[in-house]
Structure 1
């Protein structure tokens, strides 16, 4: 209560109001309730610390709306540190008669004036009053500041200039004025936010973003939004197609976060080159020298930023370096970083030297350790915040004299969506100093990637170069900000692909994408057409795989065979292999031989009773299969296999044949299985909807997100 009195004086009354009554008359939703401290049998239980706090409350509490009622015990001995005379300095002294029905005011001003007390209410009435009080008191601490109280008017929508700075309304201060987040002036360049679960941190971020895009146009402000926690907080900005947003990361992966920081670093470099050409030092100078050149500020919001540093690895080191560079150099280029987290403690985080550069601090409800980290060791005001959305704004690196209490403005999701949809649409700019990609990047880590044919085709063309005959297969969306992951496959031993994982939907997606990339190349080669021969091992319940195979069957370049056709198909492929091996100098169109669900083809299971070199008519399917793996890639016959687990791989494929699969794609599996396939446990750490590509040629593991089968094209024909 003594700290509450201090907070009211420092944050609310200040020198503007004589007492709480005057403050509440103007505070509106920020009004502070009166409090009453009652101590029965005083001074029982009193210690020296409590006595000091009580004296402080008695001295200043009346001004701050805090009253004290002490019922003195006649039998308790007063401790030596407490002076009974101190009490009479700050209040009335009532002395009851023996009958307890009359009390007398004692003191210099009231020499024994009798006071007759009202009758006590009946017990039922007391119970009724207390039940009503307990029911209503739960609502007392809930302070709601409507977003309308800080929103720009219709006439001012997106009319503010960001040339000199940003000023984003986020709530109402304890003094009853609009509290704005100010960036771009002095040391106020970057923001650090901390608040535990339920503190209103997400509400603050939504209020800040919504307020910013309603005040500033896309020409004045660009947004980069990354959310690393489990949830879809930023999905609302993707759904509303927010024109300000260049990057939106929902349940972002660490790789995507680091690549986004690299993207921002490229923008800073481009702005540096532009500023040198124009002879200016910062964004404000550029705006004054060339007002027609629209160069927006960039607000980078990263929620749960510490997820970037959960592992002490190369990604963490890159993130530390890039974020430190943005913090130190971003001010000149109009780039402002907002880092938010539930806690700032823990072993992995940004260096203290970097955090110290972030002068603006916003503290919501925190425990004591985080309260000291977000503000300072001698500033624990955040520990005393009591309700959701109550916060402290500090623009001096946490110094206690700069504390400004405020309440975050609130809007529900429906209201937010309505406001976002009311914003005028505009095209995404394409400029190396604004958005070098020329498009909005949306990463949704909580679900499979969405197929975008325009982007996929561009990636395939880029990897093929000028030679449309190059075999290139697209696998999925990159977990970074890069284009889709594409693997080019040239003739040569070992250039086969093995997909291992129990997720049938992922296998179906990779099969479809492989077929798409294969058939999107040059269809004919010296009069020969590219072909895909697929062994269909889909089970009745494999809906995704069946759907993909059905789509492939519509192509004249795809031959689909069932388990019953195995012998015939293997003989057919073997004859083609022999023909090519006998005439290696001839040019042949690529042939992709696919086995969908290896475990359904028992005849392909390895055995020791065959010998290479048998005639096509006598060779067994398993022998042909091994021969295809060994000799096929060198003559343009590449094998694509999906196996549902490492157990199937070990039973069907010999160790020698396994070496003929240089390209391996894994979904989540145990550490032992991962080590068996790629000599690394990397596949054990894969998240849902993520797969791992490893090519023995370069040994570099690449994570990617397979496309949702539901979004894939219905046909593979041009």
Structure 2
């Protein structure tokens, strides 16, 4: 009998890896050829049915004893290794279980199994793990059969006929006989019996001689048995000896990893699916619902996101850092703009991180009418107010025209008569947390719930997005959550976040591990099926690849849209809150100061109006209005020089724009760097309605002129007091200096100099242009006199059209002077300070937590403070234009 050696599982021409050498004589070969033709392929070599893994199902049963365990494990590893090597198209998925050795049975392959997507990045070890695995296999089998749709008899037949394959599953079990759950083993036997149809193949390794699971349960079953360390192929009563010389190299495993990584690289680029030059722009109609092409399925067919109208009114997206969540948001926005005319759909882009939507400020498309980039509570509440305002506007139009919803309204007035609105909110948990923290007059929680319930009819929809969905949804009632029917989950390490995103119950039959193992740019789409079941809405789950739009493509899309639209659309009022940072006032084009700089026109306000800084809301400006009531004065306290001076400077600009206002600003300390800097800034402003008192003598003269308070005539007068904490000290120094001068004069000349006396007397005369009161020559006031004048001015001034703005660096400095009575300053602005100072100033220690190096807190007696961001100081050109316009105004 001639001996032949057949080499199996040769991986490359160099034969760097060999699975086994089979030494079989000619007579045995003849018998094998006749009896096992359907199980073994003989073409100059012997191949186990494993080689047919992607073409038909198989079952391999490896029986061993303890002494042969390592050799049996080597055989198991070789089988898995070979199939993995041939898995060059990603059509085979592996599951590996190891009941007793916690994964060690897989030896060199542990790293590959634990780190690669195609192995599920997991070895199933515990009883509960293996039970879950068997349930998962049963579900996979059911789903695979459903995909055949009665057209194909098996998964293998389907894959032969179709370019896009249904993945085959190869599942290996080590010692599953010790699992201990008879029902699960019976369940597993049933899965194997149907494996020919379902595409599930199995490999078992056992030390139990009486283990029969998989034995003869599949027509393509191979049994390999180890006897005294020697492996045999068992067929009926015959057994055929095999010699194994197995070796798995790290190079071979690395080669498999590289091949599998290549399989995972899917071309998701937008440009691979669309051509911007030939694109059918603005061809869709959103009247019934929004249909947004955003991803493609396993068959590379484009899948649409459906929101509003017949579909769920709102959508929710989650994904951890690096999952591709931002790309998906931009894809939805870009595809909406490409497919819908700006008269048909408008977008509100809200970005709490202020990093995602800034590109639409720089290169602005006509569809986007609101851009919000702030994270303050005031901003969140103003967003709800803005949405409610638009909701009420639409509702009133529907009532006036006897229509019930957007669709009915458009039937009356045309497709472009009212736009559908998509409100995209990134990191939306900031919104719901702001609502939870708010304790003011409005019930924003109820307002948001009602909006979620009723916005569908108004043609308005939310797309909520966050990494922390659970935190965001905690701010919503159950009724509000139920309105968010469209769910999108990208990769997330936290199972609870995935469950919340997809709105799954704890006992939901859904494999959450699959989502944990998603790649960047992949998403599970829970889509509502329009047909309703008896239990309510039905849903289907789709695993998709998101279309990737690069920054360059995004710019091209916006440019193409702008070129095609030109000005042929209904222009709406744009609302842009650019970022959390400070900015120049002229960046808000509709701000009164900006309008004045642009065309020297100023709309008069009925009340005295101050512009201390930018709002952290979606409003164009933040204003403080003072009326003729006691206490309508403003107190500003803070050590941040830049913020404090900006507030004063822009208040001054706003006051002078109104030619009915006069401003007297008193800077007391000429030795202090802050005072010197403020003086140098404000003296650039040229107006005959501005008077600057600089130094003690000029400030004291002004105060003396106010000893007898009279109503301000021909308009309002505003006094800005800067550095009053130094008043007492400067009075003391001035008195000493006066005494020294007097002593020096007395010593130098015994004669009376009438001209010198006259000059000294004249310096005491009040030079104020607004008051005819002249203090008596030589009249001397002490600190208490000045303090009384200031207190009277604060208490009675507003009722006489004289208002006060007092500025202090610290609360301690204010208290020390004893000049300020807080009741006389109803309006207060605070910069960063201690919680104790915050409590003294605002009556709440928590108010100041809203202030930082860019933000100030405004208080007007309510429980809820407002935040502002002082503007950046303007440049010379701004000042020049302001002065030029002041000259025109003053004639």
Shorter-chain TM range is 0.7 to 0.9
Please name the residue that 2:833 is paired with. 669
Q: Does residue 568 in structure 1 map to residue 697 in structure 2?
A: yes
Q: Do the aligned partners of residues 537 and 477 (structure 1) sit closer, same or farther apart at CA in structure 2, a change above 3 Å counting?
A: farther
* Equivalent in the alignment of 1:271: 394
Change over 3 Å in CA distance of 1:515–1:401 after alignment to 2: closer
| Alpha carbons of structure 1 residues 280 and 21: separation in structure 2 relative to 1, 3 Å | same
Q: Which residue of 2 aligns with 1:282?
A: 405
| Partners of 1:179 and 1:536 in 2: CA distance | 70
Q: Which residue of structure 2 lines up, in the alignment, with residue 324 of structure 1?
A: 449
Deviation at 1:216, TM superposition (A): 1.1
1:695 aligns with 2:860: yes
**Deviation at 1:169?**
0.9
Given that 1:39 and 1:71 are in contact with CA atoms closer than 8 Å, whether structure 2 keeps it comes out as yes
Asked if structure 1 preserves the Cα contact closer than 8 Å seen for 2:270 and 2:547, the reply is: yes
- Matched residues in 1 for 2:624 and 2:594: separation? 10
Matched, 1:345 2:470: yes
- Cα distance, 1:55–1:536 mapped onto 2, change above 3 Å: farther
Question: Counterpart in 1 of 2:681?
Answer: 550
| Change over 3 Å in CA distance of 1:701–1:317 after alignment to 2 | closer
Match of 1:627 in 2: 789
Deviation at 1:678, TM superposition (A): 1.7
Q: Distance in 2 between matches of 1:65 and 1:12?
A: 9
Measure, in 2, the Cα distance between the counterparts of 1:252 and 1:4: 46
Question: Is 1:250 aligned to 2:414, yes or no?
Answer: no
Q: Assess, with a 3 A threshold, how the Cα gap between structure 1 residues 248 and 58 changes in structure 2: closer, same or farther.
A: farther
Paired with 1:295 and 1:409, the residues of 2 have a C-alpha distance of 29
Query: 1:674, CA displacement in angstroms?
Result: 0.9
CA distance in 1, matches of 2:195, 2:672: 76
User: Could you say if the C-alpha distance between residues 46 and 710 of structure 1 is closer, same or farther in structure 2, counting changes exceeding 3 Å?
Assistant: farther
Aligned to 1:104: 233
Please tell me whether the aligned partners of residues 308 and 319 of structure 1 are also in contact (alpha carbons under 8 angstroms).
no
**How far apart are 1:585 and its partner, in Å?**
5.9
Residue from 355, 361, 368 that aligns with 2:495: 368
Shift, 1:53, TM fit: 7.7
Instruction: State TM-score, norm by structure 2.
Output: 0.66
Larger deviation, residues 164-173 vs 370-379: 370-379
Cα-to-partner distance string for 1:96-148 (whole Å, 9 max, x where unaligned): 565867642435xxx74747567434x7xx02222344566566656552223
Q: Classify the secondary structure of the residue corresponding to 2:706.
A: helix
5 Å-filtered alignment, 1:10-89, equals 10=143, 14-15=147-148, 18-19=154-155, 36-40=170-174, 43=177, 51=185, 55=189, 58=192, 67-73=201-207, 76=208, 84-89=212-217
Contact 1:223 1:246 (C-alpha < 8 Å) held by counterparts = yes
**Residue of structure 2 equivalent to 1:421:** 559
Q: Alignment partner for residue 306 of structure 1, among 429, 432, 435?
A: 429
Note closer, same or farther for the CA distance 1:165–1:636 as it changes in structure 2 (3 Å cut). Answer: closer
Distance 1:6 1:349, change over 3 A: same
Say which of 564, 571, 574 aligns to 1:440: 574
Alignment pair present for 1:640 and 2:766: no
Query: 1:220 Cα deviation (Å)?
Result: 1.0
Count of residue pairs brought into register by the alignment:
679
Q: Which of 304, 307, 325 is 1:180 aligned to?
A: 304
Classify 1:5/1:470 alpha carbon distance in 2 versus 1 (closer, same or farther; 3 Å): same
Q: 2:873 aligns with which of 705, 709, 712?
A: 709
Alpha-carbon offset, residue 46 of structure 1: 6.9
- Candidates 164, 167, 171, aligned match of 2:295: 171
Which residue of structure 1 lines up, in the alignment, with residue 585 of structure 2? 451
Measure the CA separation in 1 of the matches of 2:290 and 2:606. 52
Partner Cα separation in structure 1 for residue 811 and residue 727 of structure 2: 16
Q: Distance in 1 between matches of 2:727 and 2:159?
A: 81
Could you tell me which residue of structure 2 aligns to residue 501 of structure 1?
Answer: 638
- 1:587 aligned residue: 713
Residues 420 and 460 of structure 2 are in contact (CA less than 8 Å); yes or no, is this contact kept in structure 1? Answer: yes
Q: Structure 1: where are the runs of 5+ without partners?
A: none
Aligned 8 A contact 1:553 1:559 in 2: no
Q: 1:666 offset after TM fit, Å?
A: 0.9
Match of 2:283 among 159, 178, 202: 159
Where do residues 116-135 of structure 1 align in structure 2 (5 Å cutoff)? 119-121=245-247, 126-134=249-257
| Counterpart for residue 577 of structure 1 | 706
Partner in structure 2 of residue 389 of structure 1 = 521
TM-aligned CA deviation for residue 257 of structure 1: 2.5
SS across alignment from 1:372? helix
Distance in 2 (alpha carbons) for counterparts of 1:189 and 1:442: 25
- Identify which of 353, 358, 362 aligns with 2:484: 358
Residue in 1 that maps onto 2:767: none
> How far does residue 349 in structure 1 lie from its aligned partner after superposition?
1.8
Question: Do residues 93 (structure 1) and 222 (structure 2) align?
Answer: yes
| 8 Å contact kept, 2:318–2:465 | yes
Root mean square deviation, CA, Å: 4.3
Candidates 719, 729, 739, aligned match of 1:603: 729
State the secondary structure of the residue aligned to 1:328. helix
CA separation of 1:424/1:8 partners in 2, compared to 1, >3 Å: closer, same or farther?
farther
Distance in 2 separating the partners of 1:553 and 1:21: 85
Q: How many angstroms apart in 2 are the aligned matches of 1:371 and 1:351?
A: 19
Per the alignment, in what secondary structure is the counterpart of residue 212 of structure 1?
helix
Asked if the contact 1:460–1:517 (Cα under 8 Å) also holds between the matched residues in 2, the reply is no
Q: Is the 8 A contact 2:372 2:577 kept in 1?
A: yes
- Using the TM superposition, give the Cα deviation of residue 6 of structure 1 relative to its aligned residue in structure 2, in angstroms: 3.5
Per the TM alignment, residue 502 of structure 1 is displaced from its structure 2 partner at its CA by 2.6
- Note the alpha carbon deviations across 1:452-499, whole angstroms, 9 max, x for none: 3652218999xx998679532212222333341222335565444221
Cα shift at 1:223: 1.0
Seen in structure 2, the aligned counterparts of structure 1 residues 660 and 85 have a Cα distance that, compared at 3 Å, is closer
The CA distance in 1 between the partners of 2:265 and 2:469, in whole Å, is 26
The equivalent position to 1:336 in structure 2, one of 461, 466, 472, is: 461
In structure 1, the residue matched to 2:335 is 211
**Take 1:460 and 1:614, find their aligned partners in 2: how far apart are those partners?**
46
Tell me how far apart the structure 1 counterparts of residues 233 and 259 of structure 2 sit (CA, whole Å): 35
SS at match of 1:511: helix
Contact 2:663 2:720 survives alignment (8 Å): no
Alpha carbons of 1:221 and 1:531: their partners in 2 closer, same or farther (altered >3 Å)? Answer: same
Residues 512 and 548, structure 1, Cα contact 8 Å, conserved in 2: no
**Contact 1:345-1:370 at 8 Å conserved across structures:** yes
Give SS of 1:640's match. Answer: strand
Structure 1 counterpart of 2:626: 489
| Distance across 2 between alignment mates of 1:93 and 1:245 | 64
The secondary structure found in structure 2 opposite 1:327 is: helix
Note if contact 1:232-1:251 (Cα within 8 Å) is conserved in structure 2: no
User: Does residue 1:618 correspond to 2:618, yes or no?
Assistant: no
Please state if 1:192 is matched with 2:324: no
User: Deviation string for 1:344-392 (max 9, x for gaps)?
Assistant: 4358321111211222222233433334333321154444211233322
Give me the whole-angstrom Cα distance separating, in 2, the residues matched to 1:439 and 1:11: 52
Asked if the contact 1:247–1:441 (Cα under 8 Å) also holds between the matched residues in 2, the reply is: yes
Report the CA distance between 1:523 and its aligned residue: 5.6
Partner SS, residue 410 of structure 1: coil
State the 1:168 CA deviation. Answer: 0.2
Output one character per residue of 1:64-91: Cα deviation in whole Å (capped at 9) or x when no partner: 7664333332xx587xxxx524344135
Task: Answer whether contact 1:12 1:175 (CA < 8 A) is retained.
Answer: no
Deviates more, 1:378-387 or 1:704-713: 704-713
Contact 2:268 2:547 in 1 (8 A): yes
Aligned residue in 2 for 1:408 = 546
